[in-house]
Amino acid sequence: MSAADLSTLEWPFKDPKYIFFTDFDGTITLQDSNDFMTDTIGFGTEEREQGNRDVLEGKDTFRDAFRKMMDSIKKPFPECVDYLVKNIKLDPHFNEYYQWALQNNIPTVIVSSGMQPIIRAILRNLVGPDADKLAIVCNEVEARPGKKLEEEGGWQIKYHDDSGFGHDKSLTLRPYAQLPADKRPTLFYAGDGVSDLSAARETDLLFAKKGRDLIKYCAREEVPFTVFEDWSSILATVKDIVAEKKTVHDAAHEGYETFKKGDAGVKAANGAAQ
């Protein structure tokens, strides 16, 4: 699936009424696999968090900050994959959502700044055979010049596109958003962090994870969103929308009210808890 195609209108379900796009790390999973590697076998938490702040404040691009993170990890790539498969856990309610989505002909598309071999390995371990029905649009991995993936310091990230994100997630959603009204499905997106900034404006309903950087961005830029803690709340909201008990506008309004009441788990620019 390329960033410009519309293949999700054909597979795994033809002409779906809804499509759910989602970030992977820290959204489907409890931990961000790239953060986990950086913190434990890379340059550490403090430098990584400073990099995230620099991206949010416009001092660095996500592309460059993320490459610095990955370049700090020297373990051979197959060892990195094994390490993550052993340590990364799935949101306890994702599989419940996913089985419901399959039963209701709703495609789920992972749109990630992670790397294909890592995501596929984790999903095979945590989701099982139905993981093959998840479309994935993400970055890749490649050997450094003159080295092999199996060598110490032998791999590097291969970005999906030339954008400042490395993978501009909005490019995956936008072709669907621009379809004529009679062909356009309702678009959902779930995310948690700085890699999701480009996708935030391209969806009908954005689910932003409680306490994470994406909420800060959405509140600052006045991007409508609703807050989620885990996939049980996502599933409940999507079920209500599909059953026409709630509109996407209603859900987004509820999310912003949650933020204003101080229940979104982040601090506003003035330092007040939100």
CA angle 208, 63, 155 (to 5 degrees): 115
pTM above 0.85, yes or no: yes
At 157-192, the pLDDT tens digits run 999 999 998 989 999 999 999 999 999 999 999 998
Cα distances (angstroms) measured from residue 63 to each of 6, 11, 139, 149, 152: 25, 30, 11, 21, 23
The 3-class secondary structure across the chain, one letter per residue, is CCCCCCHHHCCCCCCCCEEEEECCCCCCECCCHHHHHHHHHCCCHHHHHHHHHHHHCCCCCHHHHHHHHHHCCCCCHHHHHHHHHHHCCECCCHHHHHHHHHHCCCCEEEEEEEEHHHHHHHHHHHCCHHHHHCEEEEEEEEECCCCCCCCCCCEEEECCCCCCCCCCCHHHHHHHHCCCCCCCCEEEEEECCHHHHHHCCCCCEEEEECCCHHHHHHHHHCCCCEEECCHHHHHHHHHHHHCCCCCHHHHHHHHHHHHHCCCCCCECCCCCEC
Give residue 218's pLDDT. 80
Give residue 265's pLDDT. 67
Q: Which of 5, 15, 23, 263 is catalytic?
A: 23
Q: Which of 5, 15, 25, 196 is catalytic?
A: 25
Residue 46, judged by CB atoms within 10 A of its CB (0-12, 13-18, 19+), counts as: exposed
Give residue 261's pLDDT. 79
Give residue 201's pLDDT. 82
Give residue 259's pLDDT. 76
Does domain 7-260 fall under CATH 3.40.50.2020? My reply is no
Annotation says 192 is catalytic: no
At 5-43, the pLDDT tens digits run 799 999 999 999 999 999 999 999 999 999 999 999 999
Are 23 and 196 spatial neighbours (Cβ–Cβ below 8 Å)?
yes
Q: In the chain, which stretches have pLDDT less than 70?
A: 1-4, 265-274
Annotation says 25 is catalytic: yes
